[in-house]
Structure 1
Amino acid sequence: MPHPKPADPRDPAAPPRAAGGPAVLKILVTGGFGVGKTTAIGAVSEIEPVSTEEYLTQDSAWCDSLDGIEAKTTTTVAFDFGRITFEVPLPIELMLFGTPGQDRFRDLWDDLARGAVGIVVLADTRRLDSSFPAITFSERTQLPFLIAVNEFDHAHRYPLTDIRQALALPPHVPVVTCDARDAASIGTVLIRLVDHALTPQPAHPTTLEA
């Protein structure tokens, strides 16, 4: 069942906020196994992030493929949480919830998405097919979302138009690049998502690239 569309905090009917305080918005960060969700939230969070990472063991080798990410040693088993405040273009406080990436934890995604204003789907061009479950999930929620291509070291750089085509994305879904290790880079992605989520989309939107 689709989630209800969140209220625009600029609307008088939006959920109340503390007097003089920022609007509080929930953002979901999702994507395939090992795309950088924990890293991104940890990089941008102004508080000590909450992480539920555990070490990978041989017991999970049958279900957690490390093809292309052989150096990965830990995995999120519940969620990640962080918080970041922006003062412009309007005071907002973003509550960031990161999903686990493995198929066996997919049931948690719906619960984590409840109340979110939008979704960041992190993608890895080395394993672009791992993005499809997160995109399908985001479309099903009917929440605004964007694709943030995490540019890993030594990964091939593709034109964003090629990535859009490979992921079969509609024109109104923004596709941007980022470095999940860099707070400024992830901050730019989050602001772009909030702007996208709170801006009414035209009947025939044009392609958004950055």
Structure 2
Amino acid sequence: MGSATSELPSQRPPLADAVDTGLKIVVVGGFGVGKTTLVRSVSEIRPLNTEELMTQAGQGVDVTAGVERKNTTTVAFDFGRITLNERMVLYLFGAPGQERFWFLWERLFSGTLGAVVLVDTRRMEESWYAIDRLEHHNTPFVVAVNRFDGDENRFSLEEIRQALALNRDVPMVDCDARVRSSGKEVLITLVDHLYALALSQERTP
């Protein structure tokens, strides 16, 4: 990806006294799609990252086609926090993308109210497992297409929806995981989706 910078805060802000709702959100997707970047760009605290340098032990195991220049990998999870308004804060957990770490996902999904599936159009097949597991757990999610440099016109959201066989009720948005405002819009889309689902359930007799 290019050198665009995120709008990171200069210091760690305290939680407001009025905050009474904390939502656990998981960011999932394939290897190298930008999960760590998204958590890092939107977090208002210094994010916890478990990135390690990739070694020869991963050769032949990790699929790096399309992300050959990537030299680090998340080996546990990323954690960040963002306050959406005076009463609501999101706790963000970024899941590792490689298949050999998928066993960690089941624990990360525990207590999760919603998820973001981050998609790289160069490797859309890497998103299928994430979508499958979220559907298996009945976890609401939105799909965010991380538009890498030069990818803006490669596939439309409708083409991506068809490729991933997504239901019409799954929201989809474009984003740039490097940019705080863009990542925040993704999270707002998810919260709006969760709110709409909650209202729908209340109306169902």
Could you state the TM-score of these two structures normalised by the residue count of structure 2?
0.86
Correspondence for 1:147: 143
State the match for 1:111 in structure 2: 107
The secondary structure found in structure 1 opposite 2:168 is coil
Write the letter of the residue equivalent to 2:175.
C
CA–CA distance in 2 between the matches of 1:111 and 1:149? Answer: 25
- Give secondary structure in 2 for the equivalent of 1:187: helix
Q: Which amino acid in structure 1 is aligned with residue 69 of structure 2?
A: A
Where in structure 2 are the equivalents of 1:160-175 lying within 5 Å? 160-175=157-172
| Contact 2:80–2:91 under 8 Å retained in 1 | yes
Structure with the larger helix share:
2
Counterpart of 2:127, as a letter, is S
1:160 CA displacement: 0.8
State the distance in 1 between where 2:78 and 2:17 align: 29
Q: What does the per-residue CA deviation read over 1:140-163, in whole Å, with 9 as the maximum and x for residues that have no partner?
A: 110110110000112253111111
Q: Within 5 A, what are the aligned runs for 1:1-210?
A: 20-87=18-85, 91-155=87-151, 156-200=153-197
- Tell me the CA shift for residue 19 of structure 1: 6.4
Aligned length: 184
- Counterpart CA distance in 2 for 1:34 and 1:166 is 19
SS of the equivalent of 2:27 reads strand
Identity among equivalent positions (%) equals: 52
SS of alignment partner, residue 192 of structure 1: helix
* 1:131-183 per-position Cα deviation (integer Å, ceiling 9, x unaligned): 10011011111011011000011225311111100100011011111000000
Aligned counterparts of 1:92 and 1:85: Cα–Cα separation in 2:
6
CA contact (8 A) 1:123 1:131 kept: yes
Cα deviation for residue 113 of structure 1 reads: 1.1
**Partner residue, 2:10:** none
Structure 1 stretch 38-47 or stretch 90-99: which is displaced more?
90-99
Question: Take 1:19 and 1:56, find their aligned partners in 2: how far apart are those partners?
Answer: 42
Distance 2:169 2:40 in 1: 29
SS at match of 1:158: coil
Pairwise CA RMSD: 1.6
TM-score by length of 1: 0.84
Which stretches in structure 1 are left out of the alignment for 5+ residues?
1-17, 204-210
Deviations 1:31-89 (A, max 9, x none): 000000000000000000000000011111111121100110000000000000011xx
Greater CA drift, 156-165 or 181-190? 156-165
Counterparts of 1:86 and 1:167 in 2: how far apart (Å)? Answer: 29
* Partner in structure 2 of residue 4 of structure 1: none
Report how far residue 22 of structure 1 moved. 3.7
